[in-house]
């Protein structure tokens, strides 16, 4: 299972809010909702977050085995 818990931690560390993602970086609220629900998103979306946050993929998402 892919989870995006690391994204929220990285955003907090970098001082970037969900509001600023929407207003300053033009990320759609729907994309943020998908990430909150750990739903699938495109690699393009992951790349955008890495560019905005100046971080690695591991700082945005994580894979864990499902039981």
Q: Are the CB atoms for 61 and 3 separated by under 8 Å?
A: yes
Q: Rounded to whole angstroms, how far apart are CA atoms 59 and 67?
A: 24
Structure confidence at residue 35 (pLDDT)? 96
Domain ranges of the chain: 2-63
Q: Is the pLDDT of residue 66 over 90?
A: no
Q: Is the pLDDT of residue 67 over 80?
A: no
Output the CATH code of domain 2-63.
1.10.260.40
pLDDT tens digit sequence for 8-45: 999 999 999 999 999 999 999 999 999 999 999 999 99
pTM flag (> 0.75): yes
């Amino acid at each position: 299972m892919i989870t995006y818990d690391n994204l929220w931690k990285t955003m907090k560390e970098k001082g970037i809010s969900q509001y600023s993602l929407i207003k300053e970086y033009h990320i759609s609220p729907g994309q943020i909702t998908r990430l909150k629900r750990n739903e699938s998103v495109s690699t393009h979306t992951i790349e955008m977050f890495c560019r905005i946050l100046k971080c690695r993929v591991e700082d945005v998402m994580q894979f864990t085995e499902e039981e």
